[in-house]
């Protein structure tokens, strides 16, 4: 990807996380204080268990058939929690939007620690060379792209609540629009190569499907009996952060053909497999269902 799309990735992530901080309501913070054990379970699931499942899958003999871009693409998505559109999607399918916002914010902050550790674990486990991601560099990327704008948004909401109230919806719409624009631009640029990549990497698509289903099951299982909470936690755990994964791919793996395609393939597999799960949840809750992101 060229420098301009890379800049768009950074701007998109910054806008989304700043908007999340601005729009994080007091009720959501109360939920965090009342249910710290739930937040801890979600962080362990999203930041630790999902990457560990990816690591275990990559250790299977069948994984030897995967190409290097496919393996690293799976690792990047598995290591990148806090999907930007989780709270929007949760609100449309009967999930708890405020709980999703709290969990996304916490995952963004936890990612500054978890992603460097996961990167080190994968690098040492597979002896990756020629794709140098240092812990300090990863922490700086996560900090600049997610944590700092999130804290700035929270600061604005605390010191200028009226401004925050007015800016919340426009910022959310702008961030979602930028992310959709980014994905569309990358898809348009990559579409002629995406289908051949998928056809040549059927084994990788199978591994991605297992990852998504396992993450959905983990999120669903750690929630309480309330259907809205189960929907929310399943989405939070399974929907990884494609913007952050693309940022790492374009920053550290620009010379690796197929890496961006692997990240996009994982995203598409996640979207496709989440539809039947959300349809099932809609039937249980009898809420309107929207498939658009």
Closest-CA residue to 1 (of 219, 198, 185): 185
In a domain, residue 288? The reply is no
pTM over 0.85: no
Measure the CA–CA gap between 242 and 79, rounded to whole angstroms.
Answer: 11
Mean pLDDT taken over the chain = 82
Residue pLDDT, tens place only, 53-69 = 999 999 999 888 899 89
In a domain, residue 292? The reply is no
Q: What is the pLDDT of residue 205?
A: 95
| Higher local confidence (pLDDT), 105 or 78 | 78
In a domain, residue 192? The reply is yes
In a domain, residue 293? The reply is no
Burial annotation 175-187 (CB, 10 A radius, 16+ → b, else e) = bbebbeebbeebe
Angle at 56 between CA 51 and CA 59, to 5 degrees: 130
Residue pLDDT, tens place only, 177-210 = 887 887 788 778 777 888 888 888 999 999 999 9
Mean per-residue pLDDT, 161-170: 88
What CATH number does residue 19 fall under?
Answer: 1.20.1530.20
Measure the CA–CA gap between 235 and 240, rounded to whole angstroms.
Answer: 9
List phi, psi (to 5°) of 103: -65, -40
Residue pLDDT, tens place only, 249-262 = 887 777 788 898 99
Domain coverage including residue 147: 3-283
Structural tokens at position 44: 């362990």
In a domain, residue 290? The reply is no
Asked whether residue 85 carries a pLDDT value surpassing 70, the answer given is: no
In a domain, residue 160? The reply is yes
Count the domains in the chain: 1
Measure the CA–CA gap between 266 and 258, rounded to whole angstroms.
Answer: 12
Q: What is the pLDDT of residue 128?
A: 58
In a domain, residue 289? The reply is no
Asked whether residue 133 carries a pLDDT value surpassing 90, the answer given is: no
In a domain, residue 254? The reply is yes
Q: What is the pLDDT of residue 1?
A: 44
Residue 133's CB is within 10 A of a number of other CB atoms, namely: 22
């Amino acid at each position: 990807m060229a420098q301009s799309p890379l800049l768009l990735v950074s701007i998109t992530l910054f806008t989304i996380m700043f908007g999340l901080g601005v729009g994080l309501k007091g009720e959501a913070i109360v939920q965090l204080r009342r249910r710290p054990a739930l937040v801890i379970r979600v962080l362990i699931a999203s930041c630790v268990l999902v990457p560990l499942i990816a690591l275990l899958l990559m250790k299977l003999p069948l994984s030897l058939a995967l190409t290097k871009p496919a393996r690293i693409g799976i690792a990047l998505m598995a290591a990148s929690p806090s999907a930007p559109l989780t709270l929007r999607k949760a609100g449309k399918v009967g999930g708890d939007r405020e709980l999703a916002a709290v969990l996304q914010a916490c995952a963004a902050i936890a990612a500054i620690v978890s992603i460097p550790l996961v990167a080190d674990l994968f690098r040492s486990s597979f002896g990756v060379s020629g794709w140098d991601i240092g812990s300090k560099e990863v922490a700086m990327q996560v900090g600049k792209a997610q944590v700092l704008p999130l804290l700035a948004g929270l600061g604005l909401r605390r010191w200028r609540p009226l401004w925050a109230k007015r800016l919340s919806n426009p910022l959310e719409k702008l961030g979602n629009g930028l992310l959709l624009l980014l994905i569309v631009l990358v898809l348009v640029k990559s579409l002629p190569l995406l289908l051949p990549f998928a056809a040549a990497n059927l084994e990788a698509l199978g591994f991605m499907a297992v990852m998504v289903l396992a993450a959905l099951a983990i999120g669903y299982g750690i929630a309480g009996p309330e259907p809205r909470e189960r929907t929310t936690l399943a989405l939070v755990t399974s929907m990884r952060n494609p913007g952050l994964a693309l940022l790492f791919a374009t920053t550290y793996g620009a010379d690796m053909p197929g890496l961006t395609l692997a990240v996009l393939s994982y995203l598409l597999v996640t979207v496709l497999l989440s539809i039947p799960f959300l349809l099932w949840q809609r039937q249980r809750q009898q809420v309107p269902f929207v498939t658009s992101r």
